[in-house]
Amino acid sequence: MAPVLSLRNLTVEIPTRHGVLRPVDSVSYDIVAGEILGVVGESGAGKSMAGNAVIGLLNRPARITGGEVWLNGARIDNLPPEGLRKLRGKRIGMVFQDPLTSLNPLLTVGDQIAETILEHLPVSRAEARERAIAALEEVGIPAARDRVDSYPHAFSGGMRQRVVIALALCAEPDLVIADEPTTALDVSVQAQIIVLLKRLCRERGTAVMLVTHDMGVIAEAADRVAVMYAGRLAEIGPVADVIQHPRHPYTAGLMGSTPGASQGQARLTQIPGAMPRLDAMPPGCAFHPRCPRRGPGCDIDPPPVRAPDARAACHYPLTVAEDVTA
């Protein structure tokens, strides 16, 4: 199956007075229709930046300096701004982190959904309104017909995130980029939102890039997971494999420090040190100063993604024999 989204060596750079920073460095991955790819990493690992690069909403002076972005077999990173604008909302939907701030407080939720529909689909105003009501019903807003003319402040946080999801999906996009969609929500609401997002995208065959730092969300929702570290892809693979049999030492460390991900373990471990700052990136593998498995060559060449299983970007990946759960 041809992937809906394909990143090929995507590189984003920010020129500064002290040199060029590279928040996203040669990242490649595919997402196929109906698949949810979890993108996980610490803050500053470049996971959101990659999502913003895909929809062309990087804040200046950050810009794509290398690699390609393909959407359904067409290259989109070199489109003019107007071309990208037409893709946004129509082919690529976006869900932001904080539902309290991502809706315009002065427009009714119905108006905001209808204006998005009118922008992208050839329908009348009345039809757009009907579709807005249907969209609200679909995301589980009770009494949608009565509430379509309410303003965002009349909704709770979880309900607003449902509205945001309705907005992201209202023009039937092929891809949804969900940037930390549950981080700002109550724990009790998080699961509902994830289940909703998962169900809607499954039904429509929408591909999802689910950016989060929450391994629990990944385990719950994603089919595959991409682990990012310091702007680079550390490891990518099916969720169960990556969680239970990590190949990259960073992933192994991440799992060891996540409650619940590593069953049967008495204590949570921690990875010594901190992720390097973008302006002080070590040579070679960015993780090697903190890596328990570093060896010759780690401080010279950044490793490509390779064996075993073509999953981890590591010179000395964990082997099957070392699996935590083995």
Partner 1 sequence: MLAYILRRIFQSAIVLLVVGLVAFSLFRFVGDPIDNMLGQERTQADVERLRETLGLNEPFVVQYAKFLGQAVQGNFGMSYRQGRPVAEILMERAPATLELAAVSGVLALSFGIGLGVFTAIRRDGFAANAIMTLSLIGVSLPTFLIGILLIYLFSVELGWLPSFGRGEVVDLGGWTTGFLTPSGLQALILPSITLGLYQMTLIMRLVRSEMLEVLRTDYIRFARARGLRDRAVHFRHALKNTMVPVITVTGLQLGSIIAFAIITETVFQWPGVGLLFINAIQFVDIPVMAAYLMLISVMFVGINLIVDLLYVMVDPRLRGDSARGH
Q: Nearest to residue 169, comparing CAs of 140, 126, 212?
A: 140
Q: Which stretch binds partner 1 (CB under 8 A): 115-123, 230-238, 246-254, 318-326?
A: 115-123
Q: Nearest approach, Cβ of 6 to partner 1 (angstroms)?
A: 20
Q: Nearest approach, Cβ of 203 to partner 1 (angstroms)?
A: 21
Q: Which stretch binds partner 1 (CB under 8 A): 2-10, 101-109, 222-230, 304-312?
A: 101-109
Q: Which stretch binds partner 1 (CB under 8 A): 108-116, 216-224, 251-259, 285-293?
A: 108-116
x-or-dash pattern for partner 1, window 69-88, by CB under 8 A? ----------------xxxx
Nearer to partner 1, 80 or 296 (CB): 80
Residues 6+ apart with CB under 8 A from 275: 42, 44, 45, 229, 230
Q: Nearest approach, Cβ of 94 to partner 1 (angstroms)?
A: 4
19/168 Cα distance (integer angstroms): 36
212 contacts 39 by C-beta, under 8 angstroms: yes
If one asks whether residue 202 binds partner 1 (CB under 8 A), the answer comes out as no
Nearer to partner 1, 98 or 309 (CB): 98
* DSSP 8-state class, residue 117: H
x-or-dash pattern for partner 1, window 151-170, by CB under 8 A? x-xxxx-------x--xx--
Instruction: Enumerate residues 211-230 that contact partner 1 by CB under 8 A.
Output: none
Q: Other C-beta atoms within 10 Å of 213: how many? A: 16
Cα 189 to chain centroid distance, Å, stands at 19
Q: How does DSSP assign 21-61, residue by residue?
A: EEEEEEEEEEE-TT-EEEEE--TTSSHHHHHHHHHT-PPTT
Per CB under 8 A, the list member of 48, 102, 206, 258 interacting with partner 1 is 102
Residues 6+ apart with CB under 8 A from 70: 3, 5, 6, 7, 8, 76
Q: Nearest to residue 99, comparing CAs of 183, 194, 42, 214?
A: 183
Q: Nearest approach, Cβ of 108 to partner 1 (angstroms)?
A: 8
Q: Nearest approach, Cβ of 95 to partner 1 (angstroms)?
A: 9
Helix and strand totals (H; E) in the chain: 10, 10
Q: Nearest approach, Cβ of 181 to partner 1 (angstroms)?
A: 12
What tokens were used for 194?
């994830």
* DSSP 8-state class, residue 280: G
Instruction: Enumerate residues 23-62 that contact partner 1 by CB under 8 A.
Output: 55, 57
Instruction: Enumerate residues 124-153 that contact partner 1 by CB under 8 A.
Output: 147, 150-151, 153
Q: Nearest approach, Cβ of 132 to partner 1 (angstroms)?
A: 13
Q: Nearest approach, Cβ of 151 to partner 1 (angstroms)?
A: 4
99/53 Cα distance (integer angstroms): 21
Chain residues binding partner 1 by CB under 8 A are 55, 57, 85-90, 93-94, 96, 98, 101-108, 115-116, 119-120, 147, 150-151, 153-156, 164, 167-168, 171
